[in-house]
Amino acid sequence: MLVFFKERLVLLSVPKTGTTALHTALRARADMVISSPPDLKHAPLYRYNRWVRPMFQRVCDAEMEVVAVMREPISWLGSWYRFRRRPFMLGKDNATTNIEFDEFVRAYCKGKQPPFANVGSQAVFLAAQPNGCSVNHLFKYEKQERLIAFLQQRLNTEICLKKENVSPVMELSLSSKTETILRRKYADEFTLYRSIGL
């Protein structure tokens, strides 16, 4: 999470959406950088609303605008799958080393997900809160140039991104049956993604 107080802007770090590279590029420009532990770096909107937002409201009488990135849901799952397939994951409960992508997605769709498929939900991460706290500016991962243009204009700075924390490249495919199950079970993910402007 990055906070730019003067600009009244907070950038949430949705996992697997390229925010690590943004952290590196903008950390010197930010007023507050939360990069560790991962549970705080990747704090979802509901955690921001509960702990960080009140701090700025009560101490600074300031309301921040929230910026976030969402990745196309199947691509997002593919990134998690590839990340958990890296050599250092070998032997861990959440490794996908000996699991096919189709099996991974089917496990993700189960009521009780096994550790290797327990990766959360972008829709839950970004869900508007009952008190009105919501993401003000949501961008598609696949259209990063729009996010960069927005941040450069808002922060009055040039952003040079370097690739970081990139998962290995590999061909991934889903059976039509598995994709149908995913789209039914996680319809809210696809609906939210489609709602983001071009």
Sheet (strand 65-70) strand order: 32-33, 2-4, 9-11, 65-70, 137-140
In a domain, 38, yes or no: yes
Contact yes or no for 31/86 (Cβ under 8 A): no
In a domain, 151, yes or no: yes
Domain range enclosing 16:
2-76+121-174+187-195
In a domain, 26, yes or no: yes
Q: Are strands 32-33 and 2-4 parallel, antiparallel or unpaired?
A: antiparallel
In a domain, 110, yes or no: no
Q: How confident is the model at residue 170 (pLDDT cuts 50, 70, 90)?
A: confident
Q: Tell me: the pLDDT tens digits for 64-95?
A: 999 999 999 999 999 999 999 998 899 999 99
Q: How many CA atoms lie within 13 A of 136 on its CB side?
A: 11
In a domain, 159, yes or no: yes
In a domain, 165, yes or no: yes
pLDDT averaged over every residue in the chain: 94
165 pLDDT above the threshold of 70:
no
Q: How confident is the model at residue 127 (pLDDT cuts 50, 70, 90)?
A: very high
155 pLDDT above the threshold of 80:
yes
Give ∠ CA 166-97-75 in degrees, rounded to 5: 45
pLDDT of the residue at 162: 82
In a domain, 91, yes or no: no
- Average pLDDT for residues 184-196, to the nearest whole number? 98
In a domain, 99, yes or no: no
Q: Is 43 left (phi over 0), alpha (psi -120 to 50) or beta?
A: beta
Contact yes or no for 45/126 (Cβ under 8 A): yes
- Average pLDDT for residues 15-21, to the nearest whole number? 92
Q: How many CA atoms lie within 13 A of 148 on its CB side?
A: 14
Contact yes or no for 35/23 (Cβ under 8 A): yes
Residue written as tokens 């959406």? Answer: 17
- Average pLDDT for residues 134-140, to the nearest whole number? 98
Identify residue 191 by its one-letter amino acid code.
T
State the total domains in the chain. 1
Q: How confident is the model at residue 161 (pLDDT cuts 50, 70, 90)?
A: confident
pLDDT of the residue at 196: 96
Residue 13: both structure tokens together: 């770090």
